[in-house]
Amino acid sequence: MAKSDVKVKVLGTWSSPFVMRARIALNIKSVNYEFLQERLWEGKSELLLKSNPVHRKVPVLIHGDKSICESLIIVQYINEVWSFAPSILPSDPHERATSRFWAPYLDEKWFPSLRTIGVAQGEDARKAAIAQVEEGLLLLEEAFGKCSKGKPFFGGDQIGYLDIAFGCFLGWLRVTEKMSGMKLLSISKTPSLLKWADRFCSDIAVKDVMPETEKLAEFAKMIMAKMRGAAPPK
């Protein structure tokens, strides 16, 4: 059966940066897919529980009868199944390792700190979170210089693995900037990342799946209100 005959579905939510990673990768490869939206606050669907029994999380990529879980594992799977150009990972093993290295840092340290800024209990916790985020951005500014080698993206001429791994968080970064009144990406401290962010968000593989900051900010307020048990704003 030709690859094009096998159905591709992404199980996810419009607001999740992790889900976005899978969709961007499919877009880069021009693969048609069906986007099945989970309404996670109403309870997880049977399909989700069946296709990701271990973690019960989105995204899940359903390719024919196979389910693949974990956003960056999905991205690599997409790159390997639809192995024609453009490649999402660099061809050089050391450059691949560098791209892969940043993923756990982003997922386990940087993004959790970004999320904490909005919900931190107490000024100390908030300041610590901001410091972690800013430190990470400086590290990534430096990494951008090394990885891009003067080209527009971490991946070079085109969006690659690290662009996807990091760029998916830009929506939430902009929401955090808006709600806190802070500038996290700036011309003075992170000039390359500032320009990269605009290029990434307007790229054809990204722009239709990157949520608008306003919509995401409203969504964030709704979640925070729900968490506090208050009635959501209309």
Partner 1 sequence: MSEEVKVFGTLGSPMSCRVELALKLKGVQYEYIEEDVHKNKSPLLLKYNPVHKKIPVLLHNGKPIAESLVILEYIEETWKGNPILPEDPYEKAMARFWARFLDEKCLPALWNAAWSPENEREKAVEEACDCLKTLESTLKGKRFFGGDTVGLVDIAAIFIGFWLRVLQEATGQELLSAEKFPDLVKWTDEFVSCSVVKESLPPRERLWAFFKARVAGAMDAQTNASK
Q: How far is the CB of 100 from partner 1 (least distance, A)?
A: 5
Q: What pairing do the DSSP bridges indicate for beta strands 8-12 and 34-37?
A: parallel
Question: Which of 99/116 has CB closer to partner 1?
Answer: 99
Contacts of 202 (CB under 8 A, 6+ apart): none
Question: Which of 88/216 has CB closer to partner 1?
Answer: 88
Q: Which helix (H) or strand (E) holds 60?
A: strand 60-63
Rounded Cα gap, residues 234 and 231, in angstroms: 9
Q: How far is the CB of 154 from partner 1 (least distance, A)?
A: 15
Question: Which of 16/99 has CB closer to partner 1?
Answer: 99
Which residues form the interface with partner 1 (CB under 8 A)? 54, 63, 66, 68-70, 73-74, 76-77, 80-81, 93-94, 96-98, 100-101, 104-105, 139
Rounded Cα gap, residues 139 and 137, in angstroms: 5
Q: How far is the CB of 111 from partner 1 (least distance, A)?
A: 14
Do 162 and 155 contact (CB within 8 A), yes or no? yes
Do 9 and 62 contact (CB within 8 A), yes or no? yes
Q: How far is the CB of 158 from partner 1 (least distance, A)?
A: 21
Question: Which of 137/216 has CB closer to partner 1?
Answer: 137
Q: How far is the CB of 224 from partner 1 (least distance, A)?
A: 26
Question: Which of 106/117 has CB closer to partner 1?
Answer: 106
Cis peptide before 59 (omega within 30 of 0): yes
Rounded Cα gap, residues 188 and 194, in angstroms: 10
